[in-house]
Amino acid sequence: MNIIKFAFSEAQYLKQETKKVQIYLHHTAGNSSAIGVAKYWGTTKDRVATSYIIAGKQKASSTEKDGDVVECFDSKYWAYHLGLKQQIFTEKGSTFQWLDKVSIGIEVCCWGQLTKQADGTFKNYVGGNVPKDEVVELEKPFRGFKFYHSYTDAQIKSLKELLLSIKAKHNIDLTYHDDIWDICKRALDGKNGVFTHNSVRKDKVDMYPHPKVIEMLKTL
């Protein structure tokens, strides 16, 4: 796992140390450049970011490599990465809390959901083409989509190493539970563990249940 320390402005996160009990897995819904994501966050004023971003398959001319991990800020600090709403807590009978403060976010560079065209090609949500060899077809649709931009083997390998590293530093339970792919009361209650953005948001598809990701999570 190659970690790139990015010169992330302290104005883009909250330099407040908090005890971490959760990890949330996201994907960027964008291109393969983790550095590009970090730079984009630097142009906003919302303090929306995650500690880590994992790069995807790169062009030959890029200084980044598939699976490189960009660290925006130390995981002992925090930023907004969940977009929490009171309603979802109420529906599950949970008390609202700022889970952003007690969690660590990991973004994986990926376009996410894809639409298969009549000619057999695949388009992402902004109309861009995604090569067929970068597409995964799920056994059953996930939140309305059966085709997704595949996470690469290098990304999944780096994600595994990163999760183990975070566990060693923050003592977060990495036990796999299959409820993390939908709204999850354990997540909303602030229980210790690994979750996805789907665990706290009905309108998200990140991370989606890629078979290789599930297989990897079960080994932890």
Ranges of each domain in the chain: 3-110+151-218
pTM to 2 decimal places: 0.97
Could you confirm whether domain 3-110+151-218 is CATH 3.40.430.10? no
Cα 165 to Cα 71: distance, rounded to the nearest angstrom: 13
pLDDT number for residue 61 = 66
Q: Strands 103-108, 22-27: parallel, antiparallel or unpaired by DSSP?
A: parallel
pLDDT along the chain (220 residues), means of 10: 94 96 98 96 93 91 90 98 97 97 98 97 97 97 98 98 98 98 98 98 98 98
Q: Which residues pair with 108 in a beta bridge?
A: 27, 54
pLDDT number for residue 33 = 96
Cα 97 to Cα 101: distance, rounded to the nearest angstrom: 9
Nearest to 10 by CA among 41, 53, 55, 54: 41
pLDDT number for residue 63 = 85
